[in-house]
Structure 1
Amino acid sequence: MPYVDLYSSDDYAALWYTTNTPYNNVGGFDPSKPSIMILHPMFLCSKWLDNQFGDFRLDYGYNLIAFDMRVAGKSVCRPSGKHDSWVDAADLAFAARSLHLPPVHVLALESISTLCAMRFALLFPEMCLSLTLSNIPGPLERDKWFTTGLEELLQSWCCASDLESFEHIAKEATRFVAGPSCDDPDLIDDLITYWEVELPPTKSQRIAEQLNILLNRTPLSNAALGRITQPVLVLHAERSESCPRKYADRLAEKLVSVQGGAVVYTVKGVAGSLSIIPGHASIANQAFVKFLARLPKSRSDIRPPEVPLQQRMQQALDTLAELVGDETIRQRNPLSPLSFSGLAPDKVASQSETLAHYGELQKTAFTPLRPDGVPARKYSERRNYHWFQSERNGLSYAGASIPATSRQTKEPELELLDTRAPLPSLDSPPPPSPPPVQSSSKGNNQFSGKVTELRVRRTTVTMSGPVSVNKLTGVQVPMARVIGSLPIQKSIM
């Protein structure tokens, strides 16, 4: 994979990218075809875009390019507390100008990619032909369980001390990335193996920096959303818990400047990702291709930008100052992506402290890899009969997964009595007791030579009526017969 160097006096990043051209470079773009920029999901990278690059409808009709964000995949950068979605949008603009990319249709897949895409369209509208947003996240204050769960995920992930602990939290992370209904063992194996190699606890800073983007983001104002003019398609999973449908509808209502209004397309019966699960991704790709077919066709000529880099980035800083309401942004260095950060000083300090904390932890953190850099095992190869193992519904059941070789022998079934036979009278004498068992043990045992009888007593509920027959005689009475003989009481409800 090739990469683009972004360097300035206070920042450095190398963004790796991939294309669908024969030699994996921008020079192989077909000028007669439109171009699409794909932004990968959170916790993943461009390696997980096979469902898009391998789709004939996209690969044949369009030039495709996908960048790894600065804290994902092969991309590298200096950890910074200023990193937010505005910085990610500036990264894309710097990389696009370095490669002389033509204007592109942006396909943003899940969470932080959608946040980046909307900011990219605001700051650099001439580079963005359209926006397609998949499973946009709702506001932070909507559900406390969502943000709390992500914070606990970060802490457990980075502080895992053994392989079982890491596999457990990685399995929970698959529910966030792929959805709670994902039960494909091969997909789960691939996800956990990827995280063991690319995002182990020894790379805690990269994990924390990604989550900081989502948890510490500043939402776009209604005025900012009203300045988006590109055509917008919002793809939404019908049963998604982390991205409810109502927030997709609210976003579409706030995009008042979009000609013809934003289009919201719901994928029926889906509760998780629309990008990494093949069946769901195929439906999303079909809706995306039909959306692009309605737009004017554009060319992909590779030409140097007409406006100098510093001048264009200064214009973007001026726009950002208006959107955020901070005039000091205009005085920043226009050649540094970190200058586009929209975070308040207190949040920058908090993120910097968090990154420094996890930077110290990762020096002595546990690694799930063998000395040769290969995972010790697949997740599906673990011994899964421990109570710590969660089932499909997220709960664990003691003994539910015990192998057959370790189970106790099955007890013989009790013989059912013939319920058609007449019940014995309560006046009849009780059945004879079994003969006493003589103990053969000798010594100082106080029960030696005496009769011992062990009985297991079951808890019974004393009721008036024929149910007492079961207690005295041990005869099984049909439930319908018991209920029918009880006195009828009127309800007071």
Structure 2
Amino acid sequence: MPFVDLHSTDDFASIYYTTNSVFGNVGGFDPEKPTVCILHPTFLDSSWLYPQFNDPRLDSEYNLIAFDMRVSGKSECRHSGRHDSWVDAADLASCAQLLRLSPFHILAMESTSINCALRFAALFPEMCLSLTLCNIPPPTELQWFYTAYDELIQTWCFAEDLESYEHVAMESVTFCFGSDTAPDLRDDLIAYWEVTMNPRRRLRVLEGANMVLNRSPLPAEAYPHIMAPVLIIHGELDEKCPRKYAERMAHELKGVLYTVKGGGGYLGLLPGTASIVNQVYTKFLSRLPRARSDSWSQTLTLEERMHDALATLEQITGDGRSLRTRDPTSSLSFCCLPDEVIRHQTEGLQAMHKGQTLAYVPLSPAGRPIRRYSERPRDDWFESDTEGMSYAGGGRFFTEPAMRTDKQLPMPKSEPISPTEGRLRRGTFSPMSVEKLVIKGSMAKVVTGSQPTLHKLFL
């Protein structure tokens, strides 16, 4: 399998990539065709980009390449509290230079990929031919989404049985894709998460969640550095990414905004909207000058080019930190998180590491999901219908017309959190909160027992 190893004195990452060439590597690229780099959606990996890789409009006309970000898919890394979107952009640039990729077009899906693509285009404009962004996220997470996902991540990382894990995974499907997600797609998502993001791999889960929940807005000084043509594709009904932020981004980057009628989250993945995204994208590329994909020979070495990028980053951030003095061979040198955030994220990862190898794994001894979510036993008296209304059994309370509605309840309206709000969120656990004491027996025995240990209970 093709990997790119990035190593330095303080960091190591093995970045997996896949292509549409015969042998799955860049050596099989057709130099006559332009190259398109596709960045996968949040909490997924490059294997979920099959709607693009299997579309002949893209597969036959372009060289396609996709990387798994350092805490996604088959990629591996040394976990760090210094991981942010600037680090992802540095990873992408290092991989492109080591693979000697010619300048390429970028198609970014959802929050983490879009933040990576914007920062890559600002620091390495000569490598970016065009920029296409699907579903522009708010500068920081919306308050209701931030709070909900904070709770979900805690339950996700410390699930103790299959039912608990399936419940939190189903809640995540609802938040990301909506309550009307097709059963087959829902089953595939939950099965994927059971294999790649189970409680025994909770360091990856927390580090990936930190990328979403603790992100910082892109500085206004970065926009003038983005010179590539920009296309923004936005879902009309995506409640976690309101359209006003896509309009604002299109104005800042002087780009084109295309709204997908009836589209929600994860436009490039859902069967109903993926074909529309591919059609709009190929028409956009057809209007640009056609580039070749010859092996690119840079005049600067990798270290020299990354040093120049650090100097540009220091100019963009303007926070007084001497970024250009950092090690240019380390992607972590591009981190722009405040010191307090880095410290708390590091403490959270250290706390998560404790007991990780003994955490619950919702897999069979063969390493496969035990069952499909839709095949779970449905013998519980409590159920919930698609509108979120609870009912018991299948009696009149469920079939009563007054209790049914054809319209999904809207998500609560809220504004993004401030850049400093929630930095000490409960998701970054303290060591005391992770230590969990399981007490069995009567409540009287618990209350009259060892009182000093009660503060260790994790609720």
Give the TM-score normalised by the residue count of structure 1: 0.78
Counterpart of 2:410 in structure 1 is: none
Matched, 1:375 2:395: no
Query: 1:71 is matched by which residue type in structure 2?
Result: V
Matched, 1:134 2:129: no
Q: CA deviation at 1:225?
A: 1.9
Q: CA deviation at 1:241?
A: 0.7
Counterpart of 1:171 in structure 2 is: 170
Question: Gaps (5+ residues) in structure 2?
Answer: 397-459
Aligned length in residues:
395
Counterpart of 2:337 in structure 1 is: 343
Q: CA deviation at 1:388?
A: 5.5
Give runs of aligned pairs for residues 71-150 of structure 1, distance below 5 A: 71-140=71-140, 143-150=142-149
Give runs of aligned pairs for residues 38-437 of structure 1, distance below 5 A: 38-140=38-140, 143-182=142-181, 184-255=182-253, 261-325=254-318, 326-386=320-380, 389-400=383-394
Q: CA deviation at 1:387?
A: 5.1
Q: CA deviation at 1:361?
A: 4.4
Q: CA deviation at 1:221?
A: 2.1
- Residues 401, 36 of structure 1: CA spacing in aligned structure 2 closer, same or farther, 3 A cutoff? farther
Q: CA deviation at 1:82?
A: 0.3
Q: CA deviation at 1:385?
A: 4.3
CA offsets 1:397-423 (integer angstroms, 9 cap, x no match): 222499xxxxxxxxxxxxxxxxxxxxx
Q: Which has the larger radius of gyration?
A: 1
Residues in 1 aligned to 2:345 and 2:93: alpha-carbon distance in whole angstroms: 24
Question: Gaps (5+ residues) in structure 1?
Answer: 256-260, 403-493
Q: Are 1:101 and 1:303, in contact at CA under 8 Å, matched by a contact in 2?
A: yes
- Residues 390, 78 of structure 1: CA spacing in aligned structure 2 closer, same or farther, 3 A cutoff? farther
Q: Are 1:232 and 1:263, in contact at CA under 8 Å, matched by a contact in 2?
A: yes
Q: CA deviation at 1:67?
A: 0.3
Q: Are 2:14 and 2:70, in contact at CA under 8 Å, matched by a contact in 1?
A: yes
- Residues 57, 358 of structure 1: CA spacing in aligned structure 2 closer, same or farther, 3 A cutoff? same
Residues in 2 aligned to 1:311 and 1:139: alpha-carbon distance in whole angstroms: 31
Residues in 1 aligned to 2:120 and 2:285: alpha-carbon distance in whole angstroms: 19
CA offsets 1:287-334 (integer angstroms, 9 cap, x no match): 111111111111100133221111111100000111111331111001
Query: 1:148 is matched by which residue type in structure 2?
Result: T
Query: 2:368 is matched by which residue type in structure 1?
Result: V
Counterpart of 1:459 in structure 2 is: none
Q: Are 2:103 and 2:128, in contact at CA under 8 Å, matched by a contact in 1?
A: yes
**Greater share of helix:** 2
Give runs of aligned pairs for residues 473-484 of structure 1, distance below 5 A: none
Matched, 1:20 2:20: yes
Residues in 2 aligned to 1:59 and 1:387: alpha-carbon distance in whole angstroms: 49
Counterpart of 1:454 in structure 2 is: none
Residues in 2 aligned to 1:321 and 1:62: alpha-carbon distance in whole angstroms: 35
Query: 1:196 is matched by which residue type in structure 2?
Result: E
Residues in 2 aligned to 1:266 and 1:19: alpha-carbon distance in whole angstroms: 29
Residues in 1 aligned to 2:395 and 2:39: alpha-carbon distance in whole angstroms: 39
Q: Are 1:180 and 1:272, in contact at CA under 8 Å, matched by a contact in 2?
A: no
Residues in 2 aligned to 1:2 and 1:388: alpha-carbon distance in whole angstroms: 48
Counterpart of 1:415 in structure 2 is: none
Query: 1:187 is matched by which residue type in structure 2?
Result: L
Residues in 2 aligned to 1:144 and 1:361: alpha-carbon distance in whole angstroms: 31
Residues in 1 aligned to 2:343 and 2:381: alpha-carbon distance in whole angstroms: 41
Counterpart of 1:258 in structure 2 is: none
Residues in 2 aligned to 1:233 and 1:401: alpha-carbon distance in whole angstroms: 50
Residues in 2 aligned to 1:391 and 1:364: alpha-carbon distance in whole angstroms: 35
- Residues 392, 385 of structure 1: CA spacing in aligned structure 2 closer, same or farther, 3 A cutoff? farther
Once the two structures are overlaid, the 10-residue window that deviates more, 20-29 or 390-399, is 390-399
Q: CA deviation at 1:230?
A: 0.7
Residues in 2 aligned to 1:247 and 1:240: alpha-carbon distance in whole angstroms: 12
Query: 1:14 is matched by which residue type in structure 2?
Result: S
Higher relative contact order (CA 8 A, sep 6+): 2
For residue 327 of structure 1, give the secondary structure of its aligned residue in structure 2: coil
Q: CA deviation at 1:251?
A: 1.1
Q: Are 1:385 and 1:400, in contact at CA under 8 Å, matched by a contact in 2?
A: no
Q: Are 1:36 and 1:65, in contact at CA under 8 Å, matched by a contact in 2?
A: yes
Q: RMSD across aligned C-alpha pairs, in angstroms?
A: 1.5
Residues in 1 aligned to 2:198 and 2:383: alpha-carbon distance in whole angstroms: 20
Once the two structures are overlaid, the 10-residue window that deviates more, 379-388 or 61-70, is 379-388
